[in-house]
Amino acid sequence: MRSRPFALGAVLLVTVLACQTYDFLPVEPLSISQEESSTPIVIKKFKPNVMVLVDKSGSMDQPVDSSLPGCTQAGTICGTGASAKSNPCNTNVCPTRWSELNLALDPFLQAQAQTVRFGLSFFPEPVPQAEQPNCVPTSAARVDLPADPQDDSPATLSALSAAARSALASVKSQNPPGPIGTGGATPTGPSLAFFTDYAPLLDPLRLDLVLLLTDGLPNCNGSIPAESCVCTATADRCPPQSSVSYDCLDKDRTVQAVQDLAARGVHVVVIGFGDETRASTDGGAQAPIVLQEMALAGAYPRFCPGPQHDQPCGPANPCQGGVCLRQYHQAQDSRELGAALAEISASLDREPCLRAITPAPTSEDLILLTLNGTKYGPGPDTWHYVPPADGGPAIRFLGSLCAAIEASTAQNPVKLDLRILRVL
């Protein structure tokens, strides 16, 4: 895609008649950017690639409901504080985020064994660094996607599902932080960035998707200035009390990592798990803001349910313009997480008539669209623009144009040409 900024100047013609005078205000030149792209659209007939990226930071050991009687031991809530590993929760009476995640994610991996090519990864990685303890991001997948781009065999798909389930089950809260134990901080941004150049996930003939499960706020960015720090931990671990800023909120780098993946055709679906991921009523919580920005950047819009895509997406998540107001999935326990995973499963066979675009145009009138050499304007039988506030920027194809796209194949692709104008 190439950008060609240019300026539209104003031409003034001044005429003086008799004794009348006319004063004209100077007009600033109007700057416009034009983005052009040409893309062959191919219906992706192959099984989708789904890399499940799981947050196993220390906060995953916390109870999903700390008010339960079984969650308090000797006056202390289990799974919290510096002594969390010496005071683990008994998940029979006090389910934790990690135990509930396993309870929902394992059957999802099993149920989709013949429909999805699964990979699995964790963060933080097992080896801590002395200068930034427990902040090592994903540097390798625990379960790799197949290197063979043509391999959709039942044996391969079953083996991937089984390997992912085994790797997930091997990590336990009662184990010390490491390869088979939870613990550490939350290097979400660089963990996502690892997959930008992960070759098996860059398949143009498949849906390529990272499914991120996290319980909140990304951190681990030691370069954040003290004056910009929004602390994700106890205040004594953040500036100005501490010179180390690894517990500062790392929103910008994390959202940028999602945008970079989307630019390479890898969508990101975000599931927030736990109390911190719920939208706050006072606007003070940061996690819902961060997760929403990540989900919007992931270029995988979450559509409203119902035949007309006009039904609410759940409690406190109304439908707006055909897409859910809250684009990330939120779950408090295994039941809610299972429902989110079921919705995502259904979307993996998503209609092909929604295409993410970048950058966002200033308005729908500034999109020039050509399909197979014919120009089409927006309309009920052609297309309409989905703005960023509604889960875009994207174009939803309708009627005959959608039918043409659904009939495309690798041998007979549909060619989409776009010109997007933006007033700067």
Domains recognised in the chain with CATH numbers: 33-43+354-423 (no CATH), 49-347 (3.40.50.410)
Query: What digits encode the pLDDT tens for the residues 129-138?
Result: 555 568 999 9
How sure is the predictor about 81, in pLDDT bands with cuts at 50, 70 and 90? confident
Give alpha helix (H) positions in 267-333. Answer: 287-297
* CA angle at 351 for the pair 390 and 46, rounded to the nearest 5°: 130
Q: Which of 9-13, 108-112, 300-304 has the lowest mean pLDDT?
A: 9-13
CA distance 100 to 211: 17
- Assign 17 to helix, strand or coil: coil
Q: How far is CA 345 from CA 6, 109, 111, 128, 192, in A?
A: 45, 10, 10, 34, 21
Dihedral sign for Cα atoms in the order 278, 280, 285, 288: positive
What's the Rg (C-alpha) of the chain?
25
pLDDT (0 to 100) of residue 357: 75
List, for residues 298-311, the tens digit of each pLDDT value: 988 888 887 767 88
User: Which of 23-37, 101-115, 351-365, 410-424 is predicted least confidently?
Assistant: 23-37
Q: Sign of the CA dihedral 405, 410, 414, 418?
A: positive
Cα 246 to Cα 131: distance, rounded to the nearest angstrom: 10
The answer to whether residues 51 and 212 touch, using CB atoms and an 8 Å cutoff, is: no
| pTM for the model | 0.76
Q: 279 pLDDT exceeds 80?
A: no
Beta bridge partners of 394: 356, 386
Helix (H) or strand (E) holding 272: strand 266-273
